[in-house]
Amino acid sequence: MGGWAIAVHGGAGVDPNLPMERQEQAKQLLTRCLNLGISALRSDLAAIDVVELVVRELETDPFFNSGRGSALTAKGTVEMEASIMDGPKRRCGAVSGLTTVKNPVSLARLVMDKSPHSYLAFSGAEDFARQQGVELVDNEYFITEENVGMLKLAKEANTILFDYRIPLGSESCSAGVESPLHMNGLPISVYAPETVGCVVVDNQGRCAAATSTGGLMNKMTGRIGDSPLIGAGTYACDLSGVSCTGEGEAIIRGTLAREVAAVMEYKGLGLQDAVDFVIKERLDDGKAGLIAVSSKGEVAYGFNCMGMFRGCATEDGFMEVGIWE
C-alpha cells in the first residue's frame, strides 16, 4: 500500500485568454475541494465516501458546470447527469436527465446502494429521488444569470465558446471563425466541457471515482454524455479509479476510463504511462482529459487540449493545483 491519494477536476478545454481573476477563482475552488477530501481521508473515510463528498461540494458551487451553474439546454433548462463507482466489487450507480435533484452524485450513490439497478434516467430517476427523500429544488435554482446570457450568445454565434464563463462582451470568448470542432461528424457551435470529477484511493488501497455535469451549453434536450456512462466517463476497480472530462462523444467511443485500467492490467503499464497511452491512442481526433489514482497510492492526469482545471495530492505531502500544462 502506498497511502491515500486524491485528484479533482473541473473540466478540460480552457480558453487561453481566460482572465486571471477567473483562473484564481478556479484554483481556489479546486484547492478548497482538495483540502476537503484530504481532511476526510485523514479521518479514515472510505474512498467512495470521499469522492461523493468532494463532488457534492463542486456541484453546490456555481463556478463549474455541474449542479448549480450547469450548462443550459437549447430550451433554457438544466438536465444533469452523474455517476459514481466503488472499485471493490465494481459497484456503480448513475443518473441522467435530472432537473430537480440538488446533488446528482448523491442520487447516483443511492442508485448504487438502494436500488437493484445501476442506472436510472429522467422521470424514473426523479421518481426514485422522491422515494429516497433526497433534497429537491426548482429547476431555476441551477440556472445562473451568467449562463442565461451565454445561452443567448450561443444561439446567436457560429463559433466555439471555449469557456462559456468568460464575461459577456469579452472579445476573447470566441474563436471568430467557423467552428473547427466536430462531434459525431457535425460541427457544434458551443462547447462547454467543464464537467467535475474526483478520484480517490484510501489508505486501505480502495479506489473510487465520481463524475458530474450539466453537459453541453445549448445541447439538445435528452442528450446524454460520457459522465454517467460507466467505463466511459467514470470507472473504478481494484487497480485504479478514473474520471474523464472533455468531448463526451469521443470519450464514449474510446471507453476512456475503462481503458486506463485495461492497459494497466493487460499491458502491465504503470498509472501515468497508462494515462498517457490512453490520451494519445484512444481519442482519435477528440479532445479530452482525465484524472486517475492507483491502488498503490499513485495519482496521475493527462489531457490533449488547451488546459484542464485540476488538483491532486498524496499522503506523502505532494499537492498540486493547476490549469495549464
Residues of the binding site: 223-226, 245-248
Q: Please list, residue by residue across 274-313, b when 16 or more beta carbons sit within 10 angstroms of its beta carbon and e when fewer do.
A: bbebbbeebbeebbbbbbbbbbebbbbbbbebbbbbbbbb
From residue 255, give the alpha-carbon distance in Å to each of 109, 119, 242.
21, 17, 11
DSSP character at residue 168: T
Residues placed in the known binding site for substrate? 223-226, 245-248
Distance CA 154, CA 161 (A): 8
Known catalytic residues? 195
Cell of 310: 485540476
User: For 73, phi and psi rounded to 5 degrees?
Assistant: -75, 175
Distance, C-alpha 1 to centroid of its chain = 27
User: For 122, phi and psi rounded to 5 degrees?
Assistant: 50, -130
Question: What ranges make up the beta strands (E) of 173-262?
Answer: 182-183, 186-187, 196-201, 207-213, 234-236, 240-246
| Nearest Cα to Cα of residue 303 among 286, 285, 288 | 288
| Nearest Cα to Cα of residue 275 among 260, 288, 262 | 260
Burial class (CB in 10 A: 0-12, 13-18, 19+), 24: exposed
Cα dihedral 82/85/91/96 (nearest 10): 10
Distance CA 291, CA 281 (A): 16
